[in-house]
Structure 1
Amino acid sequence: MENEISSKSTYRLLYRVKPFLAITFLQFGFAGMDVFSKVALNQGVSNYVLVVYRHAIATAVIAPFAVILDKKVRPKMTFSIFTKLMLLSLLEPVIDQNLYYFGLKYTTATFAAAMYNILPAITFLMACVFGLEKVTLKSIHSQAKVVGTVATVAGAMLMTLVKGPVIELIWTKGRNNQGVKGGGTNIHDSIKGSLMITVGCFSWACFIILQAITLKTYPAELSLTAWICLLGTAQGTIVALVMERGKTSVWSIHWDTKFLAALYSGIVCSGLAYYIQGVVMKDRGPVFVTAFNPLSMIIVAVMSSFILAEQMYLGRVIGAIVIVAGLYFVVWGKSKEYKSGSPSTDGQMVQDKQMTDTSSDSNENSTPEVITLNVSSRGGATRDEQINRQSDQLLV
């Protein structure tokens, strides 16, 4: 009996923390991409070519898994779905990443990561517009989400606009990055880079929203990821050939930092990232996925001080603290809303899929394997009660 209770408690704990661990892992992955890509760009790699190689590698890694594992769940391809796939591959793999790499050239890795902290706010507003997120101002959960979103943007602006005195760190003494291309000391370059990153951030937010919408009719996350990477490679190649025409040398790649940046960003930040985002998004919604983005900036700031000798400023530290506080409010609001089973639409797509799965399972008279994730006022039981019942069924 004690073993059963312990197993149930462990199962419930893993069930609840899994989305948090997955998105936190992604932020560490994005942070590493910022640093590796900055080093590669400083060495003169073409951002257009880097985008192509990145998604070619991601396609080669993800496609075999998609063909095998999604064989039974992959829906039939339609013109509408293919159109969405084409738009998805254009928004993030081509527009966002090229603009991001351009902005990274003119700024620093920490600055670029800080600018991308406006992503949660943009995604939150777009999710409300498209009905993927509901806000009830009388609800404390919704108030927490709004306050947290505003705080993350305010913290990002602090990090971007306020420097303050330099904080001398032991490992940065005697080192400086003023001679490094893209150090971000030129105000004109900083403005140019900021504009590019902002437009890229808006494109990424559109990608997140469209991915959430596409998953309703194409709920095969691995196949969706493979298609995005494949079509992104094709579209990125066309852009690279046009922008780098007559420069055949830019396509050469060796076992160096350039190849490492393409390999790392392709596997972790395209292949795994698109897939994990899709899985978590179907359960918790697009706002939850982007709410953790500020963590990447803090990780980048620490890594850049070690690897690139970027200086740490007091304004950035204060901004980081504000961002973390805002992130806590957003996550708290989302978790309370999810736990209480309030009728938020960010779980509606899960409910639709589960209704189909339930009817299919009942025909086959199989053992219960469906966990109901979305509970409305009609359901009666809370999420915790459903998880408890599911744990009992699995143990039996």
Structure 2
Amino acid sequence: MEVMCGAKVGKMVHKAKPYVLTVGLQFGMAGTYLFTMASLNHGMSRLVFIVYRNAIAALALAPFALIFERKVRPKMTWTVFIQILVLGFLEPVVDQGFTFLGMQYTSASFASAVMNAVPSVTFVLAVIFRLERIKIRELRSQAKVIGTLVTFAGALLMTLYKGPQFDLFHHSNTAHQQGGSHSTQNHSHWVAGTLFICLGCLAWSSFYILQSITVKRYPAELSLSSLICFAGALQSAVVALIADHNPRAWAIGFDYSLYGPLYTGIMSSGIAYYIQGLVMQSRGPVFVTSFNPLCMIIVTALGSLLLGEHLYLGSIIGGIIIAVGLYSVVWGKGKDYKEDMSSPATTKETETMQLPITSPNNK
């Protein structure tokens, strides 16, 4: 009886694991937007921030990769090496670079909301690269397609319509941000900022797709994440040295110039890559990105409370539309997963793809 109960509990934990990891990831990612915005508001260079963030992530992950994956790390091939370089360019250089620039022109809450379009873009790319199947006569496929279109519509609404301004919480920065010159500059750069964030969104979706392909060829998530961060740090350092010639931009102290890169490096460029790779092995890239609305809600509340950011009607309506569309995508993905797990071959394949470090025999 105890054996049966233990097996049942183990099965429930196994089913809940992807959801728990992905939801926890969204809370961590919410802090990323806030720490990044705070660092940029305190005058830190956007390009230098990216370099430090990824360098810290690589240093934080490397010891764990060396210890836990020393026996299971596959040999590096030229194909995987090139893919790691491309991954380092897509996420640290392009995505972070343009997203942070767009965030400076808009706000952290707006950037997190627009980034909810990532699942839709990821879904389209996954279909193009045949990582996602579509059977238009099946209800679950219709749900994924409709959800993708609805999500895109919500993101488009947020881009084209700003609407009246709201303040969820009174903050000392709010009165200052209502100044005429700041408001005029914010309004004039709003569209440009949105386009920069959308470009970062496309790069992030491409990163998810390529990461899901690379992790199958190099199934050592910690090592892969560390290498991606290292490659991204080197490439972003080249960009920073070319674009910013001020040596003082590289100075850090015990303030947001240290706290921001430290948190985002360990959490978003380190732990996040590892969790994404782990969950993608069994659920795919679309599932991982489908929980982004939770991050938007957290960032919106904390951004207004801690940073005094404004919220606009267009962002609220667009965010709600995006959340509805993503729920439809998640529902369709859930039906896909149930069908996949009903196949003995798929179940066996999923079990063999689990990380070796989760096994008590690997010491």
TM-score between the two structures when normalised by the length of structure 1: 0.82
| Partner residue, 1:374 | none
What amino acid does structure 1 have at the position aligned with 2:51? V
1:46-61 matches, cutoff 5 A: 46-61=45-60
What amino acid does structure 1 have at the position aligned with 2:349? Q
Identity of aligned residues (%): 45
Contact 2:96 2:200 survives alignment (8 Å):
yes
What amino acid does structure 1 have at the position aligned with 2:352? Q
RMSD: 2.8
Contact 1:91 1:206 survives alignment (8 Å):
yes
Contact 2:159 2:194 survives alignment (8 Å):
no
Distance 1:182 1:21 in 2: 40
What amino acid does structure 2 have at the position aligned with 1:205? S
Superposition deviation, residue 293 in structure 1 = 1.9
| Partner residue, 1:196 | 196
Distance 1:143 1:293 in 2: 21
1:177-326 matches, cutoff 5 A: 177-179=177-179, 186-245=186-245, 247-326=246-325
Contact 1:108 1:183 survives alignment (8 Å):
no
Superposition deviation, residue 349 in structure 1 = 12
Secondary structure class of the residue paired with 2:189: helix
TM-score between the two structures when normalised by the length of structure 2: 0.89
Distance 2:126 2:112 in 1: 22
- After superposition, the Cα gap between the structure-2 partners of 1:38 and 1:94, relative to the gap in structure 1 and judged at 3 Å, is same
- After superposition, the Cα gap between the structure-2 partners of 1:180 and 1:233, relative to the gap in structure 1 and judged at 3 Å, is farther
Contact 1:152 1:294 survives alignment (8 Å):
no
Distance 1:83 1:201 in 2: 22
Q: How many residues align?
A: 354
Superposition deviation, residue 15 in structure 1 = 1.2
Pair 1:72 & 2:82 matched: no
| Partner residue, 2:352 | 354
| Partner residue, 2:86 | 87
1:353-392 matches, cutoff 5 A: 354=352
Distance 1:181 1:92 in 2: 33
Distance 2:241 2:58 in 1: 20
Distance 2:192 2:224 in 1: 33
Superposition deviation, residue 81 in structure 1 = 1.3
Superposition deviation, residue 172 in structure 1 = 5.1
Distance 1:218 1:140 in 2: 34
Q: Alpha-carbon deviations, 1:346-373, whole Å to 9, x = none?
A: x979839939x9xxxxxxxxx9x9xxxx
Superposition deviation, residue 141 in structure 1 = 1.1
Superposition deviation, residue 184 in structure 1 = 8.1
Superposition deviation, residue 324 in structure 1 = 2.3
| Partner residue, 1:333 | 332
**Which structure has the higher relative contact order (CA within 8 Å, separation 6+)?**
2
Structure 1 spans left out of the alignment, 5+ residues:
358-366, 370-396
Secondary structure class of the residue paired with 1:135: coil
What amino acid does structure 1 have at the position aligned with 2:190? S
Secondary structure class of the residue paired with 1:55: helix
Distance 1:350 1:37 in 2: 41
Contact 2:99 2:196 survives alignment (8 Å):
yes
Contact 2:110 2:315 survives alignment (8 Å):
no
Q: Alpha-carbon deviations, 1:328-385, whole Å to 9, x = none?
A: 21111111211122899xx979839939x9xxxxxxxxx9x9xxxxxxxxxxxxxxxx
- After superposition, the Cα gap between the structure-2 partners of 1:350 and 1:271, relative to the gap in structure 1 and judged at 3 Å, is farther
Superposition deviation, residue 33 in structure 1 = 1.0
Contact 1:58 1:271 survives alignment (8 Å):
yes
Superposition deviation, residue 34 in structure 1 = 0.9
Distance 2:133 2:342 in 1: 9
Contact 1:117 1:153 survives alignment (8 Å):
no
